[in-house]
Amino acid sequence: MTDPGAGAAPAAPQTRPPAVPLRRMVWLFVGLAAGWLPVLFGRGTVAHVAGLFALAETGSPYFVPGQALLLYIASPLVAISACIALMTPGLLLAIAFDRASSIDEWVLHGFALSLVVVSAATVAVQAVTPIGPGGFLVVIATTAAICGAALLVRVRRVPPRWPLDAETALSSIAWTLGVPALLFAVLTPKFYWENFNGDGAHAFEAARLLLTQPVPFWPSGAGEIGGFPGLTSMLYAYPAAWFIRLFGPVEVAARLPYLLYLPVLHASLLALIRAGRSWVPRHAEHVLMWLSLTVYTFAIVFSATYSPYSADIALPATQDTLLVVCFLGFALAGLRDDRGWLALFAILTFVSLPSGLLLMLFWGLAMLVTARRRAAIAAAAAAAGCLVLGLVLPRALAALGIPAPGGEYSSGGLLLRFAFLQLTDWSRVLYVILPCGILPALSMLRWRSLDPDARALTLVTGAYFLFVYVQAYGSLHYYIPAMLLPLVVYWRTGPTDRHRPLAISAHAAAALVAFVLVLPGDAAPFTDVRPIGTAIDVRVGDWQRMDPERFRASTLLHEVIPYDWAPAVPESVLGTSPLVLHYYASQPKPRTTPVNYVLQRATDAPPAGMQEIASADGFSVWVRSVDVWNSHLAIRPHSPAGSPLLAVPRGILFRTEPLPPAFRLIDLPAIAARLGIDVEAVARRLGVDP
């Protein structure tokens, strides 16, 4: 895989794969069809389990023996079945495109293709007719049938490589599906019953836009919510919308994409580990890899959050994991000098998160440092193409009358991150070392024993870590790429058979220590906001139709419960996002639930027996019982969320909060002001709100 100078070494001639017998095709179609059966016949299971949220209040929400069959067998089967159904079109196309020489390569490329073709097919059909849950299954099935026909044509002309030929194929599939299903069962309360936090509600509502329009961008008049997502943060919304279509507007639908991404993450890591090598993972390697990914999962689903009370799987766990999957595909295509796949994964990486472009640029530099100029030029060209796309696409959307991307990740906002720096918060190293299981991160120190590909990933990881480390303000999820890339480095420098037993034992022991250290201080699901939301009556617009006015009005609900970044939260009052209150206010209410708050237009008649507590932007909010209101404000959930070792101080999360004691802040605006520079003028020119 080395490139000593101007270009990659010519590929060795490959013999044409043998013809694929018809019976193999039949078994493939039968196997995929069998995977559809649970979601076809048990789709209502997910909504039913979501409705059992009262179980979260029991003494042992993570194990409910009376509902064991439903919660730990039927529910995971249906969820995994939905993932198989959504992946089917891409899996068939991946074989047709001869990108299925192994199970991991098949899953990675199949996912990328499904992401494109299922989303495109859904947008095309929706432009003609509304799509319900059953209709969406028909869209997927029709798309899969077309992809299957394409595969049959390819098989007859030029036989592709067959992913199920390897002796370990079936066991690899078992690992790929079995461990995520087990984790989903174990984390049932987190997926199903935990209340949204602000990030999760925002992710959910943005994804729900795709049920009525082709892009997840807010129309004008939606208010504060309209800033997210932007062009470089929109990709997550499409898979989230798939699950919302299938299972309805319930919390778990926005979280299920993580169940889809986890096996693809595993496959993409293995594909990059195997690149240019004949290494085949044995059962011990699978166990250790999944042990590391289990540590990672527990770290981010409990600790990656801005909320003082909970981390929401809906965001950032899904979005940042998707970013890493797409970047790993980009890196793999770069190592193989596969320009078509490089372009596809570059676009997917670019629209996943703004840090995707940064990772691609770091990869190009790493290729240059490791003497592979051709790969470096290809990466740079791909990044440049993405920048052009970022300039052209918003203008094209505007010309078509389609809502424009939000501006949350504007260039000015990104520059603001480097207005305040730090160099001595060494606890941040744990954000990388613990979630990957300790030893993988340490393996990057063995520079001399690394092969060129591992060195390139080490350089990317180090550069990315330093990029986020020096920022004074940040969050745990910023470090997710640096948590996962070391796994590739570690397994590309695996032990020889002579040292294998000792290395396996050391890895397992270190990962188990890391698992204990990332466990949350309190794993109980956060459930305190739903009762408050059900006591709110929103009398503006239509939630089902995504009325922009309704969402603009919902911002006023922060007068009922303050934002969770307010200075008094969490010590003195309960805090949450008004979007969370709005979501629960928009759900069906039990008849016995009294309405204590009303949000309406300011011109409407005052609600009987209520007093106004706030009015703004043409809307007003009213309260019936101040005592009930005070009791809601007095709720004190466990805080902070997650592991004590991974908890980011509020002063680091929010600039409005005081910094931790002894934290050394490098305030560049203050330094510039002392030098006589007009900081406010510079900020205005850059479009930054200082």
Report the half-sphere exposure of 253 (CA within 13 A, side-chain side).
26
Percent of the chain with pLDDT over 90: 79
The answer to whether residue 5 scores a pLDDT higher than 50 is no
Q: How far apart are CA 302 and CA 479, in angstroms?
A: 15
Q: What is the mean pLDDT of residues 368-378?
A: 94
pLDDT at residue 530, rounded to an integer: 96
Q: Evaluate the CA torsion angle 322, 453, 275, 171 in order and state its sign.
A: negative
pLDDT tens sequence across 616-626: 999 999 999 99
Cα distance between residue 269 and residue 104, in whole Å: 8
Q: Which residues pair with 599 in a beta bridge?
A: 538, 621
pLDDT in tens, 328-370: 999 999 999 999 999 999 999 999 999 999 999 999 999 999 9
Average pLDDT (313-323) is: 97
Distance CA 158, CA 456 (A): 35
617-650, pLDDT tens digit by residue? 999 999 999 999 999 999 999 999 999 999 999 9
Q: What are the pLDDT digits (tens) for 535-546?
A: 999 999 999 999
Q: Look at residue 318 and tell me whether its pLDDT is greater than 90.
A: yes
Q: Give the pLDDT band of residue 416 (cuts 50, 70, 90).
A: confident
DSSP codes joined into one string, 604-649: SPPPTT-EEEEEETTEEEEES-HHHHHHHHT-----S-S-TTTPPP
Residue 456 has pLDDT above 60, yes or no: yes
Cα–Cα distances (Å) from 115 to 205, 316, 348, in that order, read: 20, 19, 9
What is the rounded CA–CA span in Å between residue 538 and residue 7? Answer: 63
Residue 246: which residues within 8 A CB-CB, separation 6 or more? Answer: 39, 43, 46, 82, 133, 136, 137, 253
Amino acid 680: pLDDT: 76
Strand blocks (E) in 562-601: 597-601
Q: Are 96 and 154 in contact (CB under 8 A)?
A: yes
Tell me: pLDDT of 686 over 90.
Answer: no
Cβ contacts of 633 within 8 Å, gap of 6 or more: 561, 573, 574
What is the distance between the alpha carbons of residues 254 and 323, in angstroms, rounded to a whole number?
A: 17
Best CA proximity match to 515, nearest among 239, 186, 224: 186
Per-residue CA distances from 610 to 533, 578, 636 (Å): 17, 20, 26
DSSP category for residue 314: I
d(CA 319, CA 323): 6
Summarize the confidence of residues 35-42 as an average pLDDT. 96
649-665: pLDDT as tens digits: 999 999 889 999 989 99
Strand partners, 538: 599
Place of tokens 């390139």: 456
pLDDT band of 18, cuts 50, 70, 90:
low
Gap between the Cα atoms of 623 and 600, Å rounded = 12
Confidence of residue 574 (pLDDT cuts 50, 70, 90): very high
Report the C-alpha gap between 8 and 14 in whole angstroms. 17
pLDDT band of 484, cuts 50, 70, 90: very high
What local confidence, expressed as pLDDT, does residue 656 receive?
A: 87
What are the tens digits of pLDDT across the range 244-283?
999 999 999 999 999 999 999 999 999 999 998 877 778 8
Task: Supply the pLDDT for residue 10.
Answer: 43
pLDDT score, position 7: 39
pLDDT reading at 492 higher than 60: yes
CA 85 to chain centre: 20
For position 414, what pLDDT does the model report? Answer: 67
- What are the phi and psi torsion angles at 548 (to 5°)? -60, -35
Length of the chain: 690
CA–CA distance, 360 with 387 (Å, rounded to integer): 12
271 close to 176: Cβ distance less than 8 angstroms: no
Residues 6+ apart with CB under 8 A from 6: 373, 374
Phi first, then psi, for residue 634 (nearest 5°) are -85, -5
Whole-angstrom distance, CA of residue 588 vs CA of residue 547: 18
